[in-house]
Amino acid sequence: MNTIYNGIRAVLGLGKPQSDCSRKYELDNLKWEISIPENFQEVTAEQWSSITEKGEQAIEKSSAEPIGSRPEILFVYKADDANFLEASWRPYDVVLEGNYKDACARECQTLLQAFKTELPQARVESAATEVMVSGLDFQLFNLSAIYPNGMTVNSLMYYRLCGDFELLINLMYVNPEYGWQMLQMLNASAFETVEMLV
């Protein structure tokens, strides 16, 4: 039960991209290039673990099931202390875990319930859809927690099965300007066309 939990852990524990720093990531047959603006700082694995720990506990409490193994982090960047861009991956065995889209739909419902349980003072809205990023189809689960004081915590979770592994990209933000900037970064990123991914 950890398909898209990685992004939600941070949420519960909580202008135009300048293209100043281009990063390339390779994972098996997946090659991905994304430009990270200078106003985003890299977050270490240790820092990210401490940020997501509270959210993990909330999900386990809400679902009454252990989270399981953590996805492998490709990178985490932040702007201020409440806006994060995180990418990770994990092996996915269709024989053991079943149909990917069905598993994701179940987990989205579990996450929605965790949000509602752990954030009773907030109005929680959600939507699930499919979107295209750099020519590849992704599942997208959008969760928003709207607080009485007007603050909104947004989490956009993109996920895709790539052969025998799952790619997860999470955008978590409170500041809409940073949210827009992260969306621009993601939409301008490039995946090398690999037959197994199309």
Q: pLDDT tens across 125-146, in order?
A: 999 999 999 889 999 999 999 9
Mean pLDDT calculated for residue range 87-110: 91
> CA-CA distance, 189 to 26, in Å (whole number)?
14
Instruction: Output the pLDDT for position 69.
Output: 62
> CA-CA distance, 20 to 28, in Å (whole number)?
26
| Helices 45-63 and 5-12: angle between axes, nearest 10 degrees | 90
Helix (H) or strand (E) holding 17: none
CA torsion through residues 183, 189, 193, 197, sign: negative
pLDDT of 100 above 90: yes
Options 3.40.1000.10, 3.20.20.70, 3.30.920.30, 3.40.50.300; which CATH number does 5-197 get? 3.40.1000.10
Per-residue pLDDT tens over the stretch 34-73: 998 888 999 988 888 877 776 666 666 665 565 556 788 8
**What tokens does 113 get?**
């319930």
Q: What is the dihedral of CA 73, 134, 109, 91, to 10 degrees?
A: -40
Facing residues of 189 across strands? none
The larger pLDDT score, comparing residue 14 to residue 56, is at 56
Instruction: Output the pLDDT for position 107.
Output: 86
**What tokens does 29 get?**
């047959």
Task: State how far the alpha carbon of 29 is from the alpha carbons of 53, 122, 132, 185, in Å.
Answer: 31, 41, 19, 22
53-62, 106-115, 116-125, 144-153: which range is least confident on average?
53-62
Domain ranges in the chain?
5-197
> CA-CA distance, 191 to 135, in Å (whole number)?
8
Q: What's the chain's average pLDDT?
A: 81
